[in-house]
Amino acid sequence: MGLLQVVITLGIIMLLVKPVGSYLVNVFGYEKSGLDRIFAPIERVFYRIMGVKEEEAMGWKKYIGAVLLVNLVMLLLIYTVFRLQKYLPLNPDDIANMPPALAFNTAVSFITNTNWQAYSGENTLSYLSQMIAITFPMFTSAATGFAVAVAFIRGLVGRQDNLGNFYVDMTRAITRVFLPLSFVVALILVFQGIPQTLLGAVQATTLEGAQQTITRGLVASLEAIKHLGTNGGGWFGTNAAHPFENPTPLTNLIHLLCMMLLPTSLVYAFGLMIKNKKQGWTIFAAMGIIFIVMLATVFYAEYKGVPAVDAMGVHGNMEGKEVRFGISETALFSAVTTAATTGSVNAMHESLTPLGSIAPLAEMMLNNVFGGKGVGLLNGLLYLILAVFICGLMVGRTPEFLGKKIEGKEVKLAAIAILTHPLIILAPTALALLRPESIASISNQGMHGLSEVLYAFTSGAANNGSAFGGLSANTNFYNIGIGMVMLFGRYISMIAMLAIAGSLATKRVVPVTTGTLRTDTPLFMGILIMIIVVIGALTFFPALTLGPIAEHLAAR
């Protein structure tokens, strides 16, 4: 039954890929369509307010400049709200201001689409903060990732350094994709019993006669964009394991579909935008195969359980899991939330078996298994560029992708982005394990404690935001350290990819010949998978060996 649920969920996702992908092409195609009658008047109002000329084109430098400027302004505004929330309205529970380091970490987290939370939302944020400093950047950060991915695609197929207009792309992503979908999903979630109110906490009497404070708020609207935008930050500290965020099997299914809907559809849309569906499906298949392997790993590990517990007659690992979801839906959620870089959790990942915990860790370390809004596709294309270059050198052919030569400049930029990812994971992890103050935050010593720290920095670098658990991360070191990792993980790859797009956009298209290396074949798909796995294994396997792998072997 559990396996059948997983198969049905994945089947529904596959059915939605083509229609949603086609819709995304319509949204970002800049061509006249029936959608303009509904959305264009609203968008023009925003363009006038921002002083944006809709038809203005941007080269890669101007485009990334707009991305960084907008994100910096929003970051400062969000930080200000956190620091002043005690004096602002819509604070019925009289929540105090956030401390400076935590405010910095949280502001960076939500502007970078990471949504790492070193706090419990119900106890730390006012309703105003939840709305304008948490829910609002969930829209803008997801739209930013979408915009950058679309701009890169334009660079691949363009004939000049014209990547579109960032302000238009971001606005269209919000008005035509995220807002309509979020509205519909939020209504379904309210129907399923998720709260949506501005009223404060209530006091309830339990069956034992004790008094209990029950926090509520604008949970349904946050949950909708949280999963559609692959954000992941929860209203409550226990995230999607909390019954007010994820009360039923149906809401769990909706969360899963929302997380995978746009990342998978964007890969299909890529094939349509470059006018080569086979190329899109080749990349989709490569990502899909890696995802299935990761899902099978955590699925098998959790059903097999821990030998010591299994010997007592308790089969399967239900520790840290909600009974209403069980092992299968928890395993699927764990694989999906880290594949789509969402970070939402319906169980505590620290309670996964050591072998099972490797899957979410590995997906974040690779950071290209569909990934979040735009970023997963961009990282997948980084590896594709590297694979094309390596294959070209091996067989003596000129490295080309979509008819454009891949030369030293593009490979250097791709290498910078690829190497930055492990650097900002492994170096801070090593530093944390050298400092007595940061070691004191680890609740479990030894191999499991190493996994806690490694997971935290991996989650920040991948802009995922899920927590392994067991690590008291609300300290100045972790707040500032993970905050800086989130910034580097988000923007270095964006800058590198748009620089590559600007370079490729000005290159002339080389005619296809018998010497052209085709990148839309099953053979190249296999090569791409091997490049991703080999680079990932060489980079991260030693760290995994010291953490979850050693713990798995020790438990046998």
Reported as a single tens digit per residue, the pLDDT across 259-275 is 999 999 999 999 999 99
pLDDT at residue number 444: 85
Q: How many CB atoms lie within 10 A of CB 422?
A: 18
d(CA 155, CA 58): 11
pLDDT at residue number 1: 62
* Contact (Cβ atoms closer than 8 angstroms) between residue 107 and residue 82: yes
At residue 401 the predicted structure's pLDDT band, cuts being 50, 70 and 90, is confident
Judge residue 83's burial from the number of C-beta atoms within 10 Å of its C-beta, 0-12 exposed, 13-18 middle, 19 or more buried. Answer: middle
At residue 398 the predicted structure's pLDDT band, cuts being 50, 70 and 90, is confident
Specify the higher pLDDT residue, 161 or 135. Answer: 135
* Contact (Cβ atoms closer than 8 angstroms) between residue 107 and residue 126: no
Q: What is the DSSP letter of 399?
A: -
SS3 track for 69-91: HHHHHHHHHHHHHHHHHHHCCCC
Judge residue 79's burial from the number of C-beta atoms within 10 Å of its C-beta, 0-12 exposed, 13-18 middle, 19 or more buried. Answer: buried
Q: What is the pLDDT of residues 39-79, one digit of tens each?
A: 999 999 999 998 998 888 999 999 999 999 999 999 999 99
Q: What is the DSSP letter of 350?
A: G
Q: Determine the angle formed by the axes of helices 100-111 and 136-157, rounding to 10 degrees.
A: 40
Mean pLDDT of 92-100: 92
Res 123 pLDDT > 80: yes
Q: What is the pLDDT of residues 404-430, one digit of tens each?
A: 888 889 999 999 999 999 999 999 999
At residue 554 the predicted structure's pLDDT band, cuts being 50, 70 and 90, is confident
Strand ranges (E), 166-258: 202-205, 211-214
* Contact (Cβ atoms closer than 8 angstroms) between residue 399 and residue 405: yes
* Contact (Cβ atoms closer than 8 angstroms) between residue 31 and residue 272: no
* Contact (Cβ atoms closer than 8 angstroms) between residue 327 and residue 2: yes
Mean pLDDT of 442-450: 89
Res 443 pLDDT > 70: yes
Q: What is the pLDDT of residues 338-374, one digit of tens each?
A: 999 898 999 989 899 999 999 999 999 998 888 777 7
What whole-number percentage of the chain has pLDDT above 90?
Answer: 69
DSSP for 114-176, written as a single string: ----SS-HHHH--HHIIIIIIIHHHHHHHHHHHHHHHHHHHHHH-SSS----HHHHHHHHIII
- Side-chain-side CA neighbours of 374 within 13 Å: the count stands at 28
Pick from 137, 128, 157: which is nearest to 29 by CA?
157
3-class state of residue 400 by DSSP = strand
Judge residue 555's burial from the number of C-beta atoms within 10 Å of its C-beta, 0-12 exposed, 13-18 middle, 19 or more buried. Answer: middle
Res 200 pLDDT > 90: no
Q: How many CB atoms lie within 10 A of CB 184?
A: 12
Mean per-residue pLDDT over the chain, rounded: 91
- Interior angle at CA 334, CA 329 and CA 336, nearest 5: 90
Reading the block at residue 180, the tokens are 């309509």
At residue 276 the predicted structure's pLDDT band, cuts being 50, 70 and 90, is very high
- Side-chain-side CA neighbours of 468 within 13 Å: the count stands at 32
Q: What is the pLDDT of residues 151-194, one digit of tens each?
A: 999 998 888 888 999 999 999 999 999 999 999 999 999 999 99
* Contact (Cβ atoms closer than 8 angstroms) between residue 274 and residue 280: yes
Pick from 368, 399, 370: which is nearest to 386 by CA?
399
Q: What is the DSSP letter of 548?
A: I
pLDDT at residue number 376: 83
Q: How many residues would you count in the chain?
A: 556
d(CA 243, CA 194): 8
- The b-or-e profile of 132-168 (16+ CB within 10 A means b, else e) is ebbbbbbbbbbbbbbbbbbbbbbbbbbeebbbbbbbb
pLDDT at residue number 556: 67
Res 555 pLDDT > 80: no
* Contact (Cβ atoms closer than 8 angstroms) between residue 353 and residue 307: no
Pick from 301, 489, 493, 483: which is nearest to 414 by CA?
493
Radius of gyration of the chain (CA): 23
Q: What is the pLDDT of residues 221-257, one digit of tens each?
A: 999 999 999 998 888 888 999 999 999 999 999 999 9
- The b-or-e profile of 51-75 (16+ CB within 10 A means b, else e) is ebeeeeebbbebbbebbeebbeebb
Q: C-alpha dihedral over 282, 284, 290, 295, to 10 degrees?
A: -150
pLDDT at residue number 103: 96
H/E stretch holding 245 reads: none
* Contact (Cβ atoms closer than 8 angstroms) between residue 555 and residue 308: yes
pLDDT at residue number 512: 74
Candidate from 29-33, 148-152, 180-184, 192-196 with smallest mean pLDDT? 29-33
